Amino acid sequence: MFTVIFCSSQSYSIVIFPITIMLRAIVRRPTLTRSLFNSVAVNRFHSSPVLKNEATPEQLDSPTKKMNLFQAINNAMDIALETDSKAIICGEDVGFGGVFRCTTGLRDKHGAHRVFNTPLCEQGIAGFAIGYAATGGTVIAEMQFADYIFPAFDQIVNEAAKYRYRSGNQFNVGGLTFRSPYGAVGHGALYHSQSPEAYFAHTPGLKVVIPSTPTQAKGLLLAAIRDPNPVVFFEPKWLYRSAVEEVPVGDYMLPLGKARIVKEGSDITVVGYGAQMHVLANAVALAEEKMGISCELIDLCTIAPWDVETVEKSVRKTGRLVVSHEAPKTCGFAAEISAAIQERCFLSLEAPIARVCGYDTPFPLVFEKFYVPDHHKNFEAIKGTMYY
């Protein structure tokens, strides 16, 4: 018994996955998994204080609806399917709504031929998605957890990312978007908590997007789906239900590669992305209350390509920089930000750039609260940078 999935390792190749591989995948996905959690870019391509969103005049004029983050993502995919007849959604359990309910109702509305489950084989999901996109289709492929994306790593970085380049722009897989929930959630431990964004940001040909609010999630996801390059879209699962706000119900996109200044300030620049923005908002509020300083808070939104100009302009004004993310410190994306800003702003810096990140260990279970770079750690980094 075989499952046949088109793949892109060669121009017209087919990968055949025996049922034994599917069974092995099922063994490593115990049922506990289900119950744990209720165009080319420049140089590379063709419960916290409220985070306010920038919006265009058109967005402000449109009706809004209260949505949490997973509902905003669902709404974005619904619009993508309605406006693009070639768009499909595939992945493990997406036909049933997915582990985090992001695809709830989409199969019933758009049909099982457009929203469908796949075998539990990430390499096969990626290979099929690349093959479909290579024919001109639009595919939104879900990796159930970011921790599960590694079996598909070769397909994503060696095939999807290089498809346009290796063909001299004769062929491309620009209609390809990989969605995946990432990061800490309180009880995910080693295999349901990782933040692998830096691996993909290192790969020319891929865009990497990480939203922090429902409004951002919807607008950035629609932009990612319609971007003429393959995009890896990481979703902060901690915010799926906890981040709630009024979201425009219409069809809108937010620009990829453009950071947003969440809060303007004059004494220190604080930079992050994704779920960490809510942690940083608390740290900034604490610093301003305790120290009487003015902090500028920046949400990168996209880390490949990332908006170095906005961060540079801010650091030239403040002279100080703190960067924070959940991923391990060594070779995390904060290292790229630190290096780039040091090169551009050396004579403007009043203190060394501080990185507040996860530790260089596997993600722990019972010690998660000590591992994550919480607002207390970020407050101490802000204080240390200010008093340097």
What positions carry a catalytic annotation?
A: 122, 192
**Residue type for position 5:** I
57 SS3 class: helix
Alpha-helical segments (H) within the chain: 19-27, 32-36, 57-61, 69-83, 106-110, 122-134, 153-154, 163-166, 197-201, 214-226, 239-242, 276-291, 308-318, 333-345, 368-371, 375-386
Task: Report the alpha-carbon distance of residue 371 to residue 62 in Å, rounded.
Answer: 42
Q: Give the closest residue to 269 by CA, choosing from 212, 217, 306, 311.
A: 311
Give me the residue label for tokens 């010690």: 367
**What are the distances in angstroms from CA 320 to CA 344, 349, 377, 387?**
13, 6, 17, 11
CA dihedral of residues 144, 67, 299, 122 (deg, nearest 10)? 10
**Three state DSSP letters for 272-321:** ECCCHHHHHHHHHHHHHHHHCCCEEEEECCEEECCCHHHHHHHHHHHCCE
DSSP 86-130: TEEEEETTGGGT-TTSTTTTHHHHH-TTTEEE--S-HHHHHHHHH
